[in-house]
Amino acid sequence: MAIVVTGATKGLGRETALLLAEEGARVVGTGRDHEDGASLERAAADLPGQVVFAPGDVRSEDDVAAAVATCRTRYGSLDGMVVNAGILGPEGPLHETTGEQWDEVNDVNLRGAFLCTREAIRAFLDQEGGGAIVTVGSILSVVADPFISSYTATKTGLLGLTKAIAVDYAARGIRANAVLPGDMETPMIAEYFAGQPDPAAARAEMEAAYPIKRLADPREVALAVLFLIAPESSYVSGTHILVDGALTAKTY
């Protein structure tokens, strides 16, 4: 399989790119940080598959098109697209959120996903066999958390986009599904804890909210992505997998 993974230099994106390469896939991983991209390539050097870094920003139509073109030129096809790149954005009440803050989150999380899925679909339609899309949403695609309304709105919209693609292109051999993780042990969550008055207390409070009493290892979420992007899930489309330690299954 030849797959593009966006936001592949950190956290879940990095873990997903490396897991796919472990399984023999040929991966083009995108991101904005060249040093992290080089680190990703080095980490994949001895794996059965391959990871090539393609610098770029999902907000740029040219960068997205270039990543897909790199995959098709280097590997001969595009078989899958993992839409992972995203940002948290501002925390605070909606009435204090500026238009610029809202637009920034939307540009990355939703418009960027539109550009990535559109380019993937164009490639799939241009070749035989279709392809698979996996979007990375959040538990906030289906529930809400206080004071992150812009993030919640974009992740909810992303799930809707995923379902629409699945319905619209099923007859053309294109599948689309979403993985909805809870909190993971990633640089993003580490940065969040570091910004709290009492990081240890903040972590303890977050972990206590999960019935499983811990945060996810990114690999646990990447395994769900692997299943949905692989041919073995050929009859799975238009749905989502919650990987959240039973958080959204409880009432309180």
- The candidate with the shortest Cα–Cα distance to 124, out of 56, 175, 57, is 175
Helices (H), the chain: 11-22, 34-43, 61-75, 99-106, 112-125, 149-169, 187-194, 199-209, 218-229
- Asked about 151 being catalytic, the answer comes back as yes
Integer-rounded Cα radius of gyration of the chain: 18
**Which of 75, 151, 169, 192 does the annotation list as catalytic?**
151
In degrees rounded to 5, what are phi and psi of residue 132?
A: -125, 140
The Cβ of residue 111 has, within 10 Å, a number of other Cβ atoms equal to: 17
Q: Decide: residue 206, CB within 10 A, 0-12 exposed, 13-18 middle, 19+ buried.
A: middle
- Please state, in angstroms and rounded to a whole number, the distance separating the CA atoms of residues 30 and 193: 26
Q: Decide: residue 118, CB within 10 A, 0-12 exposed, 13-18 middle, 19+ buried.
A: middle
Q: What is the DSSP letter of 58?
A: T
List, by residue number, the catalytic residues: 151
